[in-house]
Amino acid sequence: MKISTISELILKFSQKRNLNNFSQYFSINNIRSSDKLLSLFRSKRIFTRFVSSTTHSYNQNKQKHKLKPQHVLISNYSSFINEYIEKPPYNNFKDLLKISPYFLLNGEQIRLLQEPKELYEELKSQILVAKERIFIAALYIGYSEKDLVNTLRIAIKKTKQLKVHILLDCLRSTRTGQTPSDKSPAYLLLPLVKEFPDQVTVSLYHTPDLTGILKKFIPPRFNEGIGLMHIKSFIFDNNLLLSGANLNHDYFTNRQDRYMLFENTPSLTNYFADLVETVASFSYRLSPTKLVDEDSFKLVLKNYPDPVTQSTLFRENSSLIMNNFIKRWIIHSIEQDHNLSLQKYDTIVFPIIQMNPLYIRQDELATFIVLDAISMHGNKINVNENKFCRVFFTSGYFNFTQSYKERVLNARAKFQLLAASPEANGFYKSKGISKYIPQAYTFLEKQFYSDICHYGKEHLIKIQEYKRPGWTFHAKGLWCYLDGESWPSLTIIGSSNYGYRSTERDLEAQAILITENTQLRKTIHDELENMSKYTEEVTKETFQQIDRKVPYLVGAATRLIRTML
C-alpha cells in the first residue's frame, strides 16, 4: 500500500486540527502494551519493536511538550528566500522550510575531505588556528588520542581567550577498556579540565532510558545499546566540520566515513555551537575531585533533574528545552533574511536533529519529506524509468526502520543502498558476544533483499557492500540525483544510520544540503564514487555462501534486540 505524502498529511492534519498541534509531527511515544512480563522492557525501550510507520507515528495524545507550529510563520518569509525556494532544485524540497531552520551559503564555502587521514590533519590544523572557540561533539575520544588532546593543550596555552567545550556520551566516555592501561576518555580529558578550569568544559550526556534496575544490572558496553549521544560536529571559530566519525585511531586511518567542512559560515556554525551548549545544559559536567588520587573525577549536574534518578522530569524538561531550541532557530532563519546581502547564493543548508528520548523526531520527518518529494517527482513526470531520480543511501549499520523501508519500496525512483560487508563491519572478529553483530546485520540485509524481490523491485533497488581489504566502513548519508542528472543536487550528512537505533534511541544531528553549484555537485559525486569503487553488488547468491549463513539463534536474537542495532 502506498504511503501518504507529507503534503497530504499536512493538509489532512490542518483540516482536522488547530495548527498549533503541528508539533505532533515531531514526537511519538507509540509503544504497544503487552503482558506484564515485558512491561518493564517496553517502558524502558529495550526490546520494544517501535512503531514508526506513517500510519502510527504521529500519535496525538502521548506527549506534553510539542514543537509549536512553525509553518504558520511561512507568510513572514521574505521575498529573498522565496526567490530561491521556488526554482529548481530547491522547489522539490521546499516543505523543509516548514520544519527546519535554513542557511544560505555559496558552494565555495564548502569543502569535502575524502580519507580518514585528511580528517585527522584537518582537526589538528583547525585546532591550532582557532582564536575564540573550539566546540567538539562526538560519541567519544579514544584514550589513545593523546596527541590530539595535546594539540588542544597547545592551542589553549597559546590563546588565553580560547574557550573549549567538549560534549561526549556519558556511558561510552566513562567506560574503561579491557586492560588497566586502557582508561576511559574521561580520564584522558580530566587533566585539561584541571589545568584550564576557566577555558575547558567537558559535558557528558546520559540517556534517561537507562535507569533503576536496568542501570544496576546491564553491564558496561551492553548498556550503551539503550541510548547514546551520537552527534558528531566540530567547531573552530566560524568553521564547522560535520562527519559521522568518532575521534579514535581507526577513524583517522582505515575506517571510511564522510567529512564536510563549512568555512566562514558564522550563522550555521552558531547553530551547531548552540546545539552543543543546549544539550550540555542538561548533561553531566566532568569535574576533578579533591581527593589525593589525581585521576579521580565526579560527574556534576547542578540545578537540573538527574537523568537516572529523575528520568521522567528530566525527559520533560529537556524536551521543552530542545523544542525551544528548534523554534528559536527557525525564527532566526526568518529574521536573518533581512540582514543578508544582495549577493547571489547557490546552496541552502537545513540542519536537523533526532532525539526520540526527548520526543524530537525532526530528522525523521525531514528525511520523509525528501523521500516523498522524490517519489512525487517520479509520479508527476510522465517519463520512463531511465529518467527516474537516483538515490544513494549509505549506512555502516544496515537496519532501516519500517517507514524508511516502505518509502524505498514504494517510491518511483532508483535506489542504491551501500552497507558494510561483514568484513568491513567494525565488530568483525571482535571478542565475546559482539562477534555475532556482523551476522545480525547480514540477517537484516537478507530480510530487506527478500522484500525487494517479493515486490519485484530488483531492477530499481540495488544493495551494495563495501569491501576494502584492511578497512572498515562507517559512512552514512543520502545523495539524490534529479531527472537522470550526472551529479547530485542534494545530500544529507551527519551522524544518523537511518536505523531503529538512530531513530528511536540516540541523539543525532545532520544537515540537508541542496545546491546548484556545479563544482560542489561534482565534488559530492566524487565522494560517493570514491566509496563505490570498493563495493560489490548483493545478489541471492550472496546469502547462499557458507560464511553468510546466519545461525538460527542469531536471527532470533536479532529480532529481539533490533532497536538496539
Q: Provide the annotated active-site residues.
A: 230, 232, 237
Give Cα separations from 405 to 393, 461, 482, 498 (angstroms): 12, 11, 21, 10
**Which triple of cell numbers denotes residue 409?**
519500496
Q: What are phi and psi of 400, to 5 degrees?
A: -55, 140
Question: What is the chain's percent helix, strand, coil content, to nearest 5?
Answer: 45, 20, 35
Angstrom distance (rounded) from CA 391 to CA 305: 43
DSSP 242-288: EES--BSGGGGTTEE--EEEE-S-HHHHHHHHHHHHHHHTTSEEEEE
Angstrom distance (rounded) from CA 25 to CA 367: 13
| Cis, peptide link before residue 89, omega less than 30° from 0 | yes
Give Cα separations from 370 to 102, 225, 489 (angstroms): 15, 28, 12
Cβ neighbours of 245 (radius 10 Å)? 26
Angstrom distance (rounded) from CA 302 to CA 228: 21
The candidate with the shortest Cα–Cα distance to 326, out of 288, 368, 347, 354, is 354
* Residue 235 bridge partners (DSSP): 135, 240
237 SS3 class: coil
DSSP 149-192: HHHHHHHHHH-TT-EEEEEEEHHHHT---SSTTS--HHHHHHHH
Residues in the chain: 565
8-state DSSP, 338: G
Q: What are phi and psi of 37, to 5 degrees?
A: -60, -35
What burial letters (b/e) apply to 151-170, b meaning 16+ CB within 10 Å? bbbebbeebeebbbbbbbbb
The candidate with the shortest Cα–Cα distance to 52, out of 392, 561, 406, is 406
* 477-481 CB contacts, 8 Å cutoff, 24+ apart: 477/244, 477/258, 477/393, 477/394, 478/367, 478/370, 478/391, 478/392, 478/393, 478/394, 479/391, 479/392, 479/524, 479/525, 479/528, 480/370, 480/374, 480/389, 480/390, 480/391, 481/389, 481/390, 481/391
| Interacting residues of 322 by C-beta distance below 8 A, sequence separation 6+ | 278, 353, 355, 358, 360
Angstrom distance (rounded) from CA 74 to CA 44: 38
369 SS3 class: helix
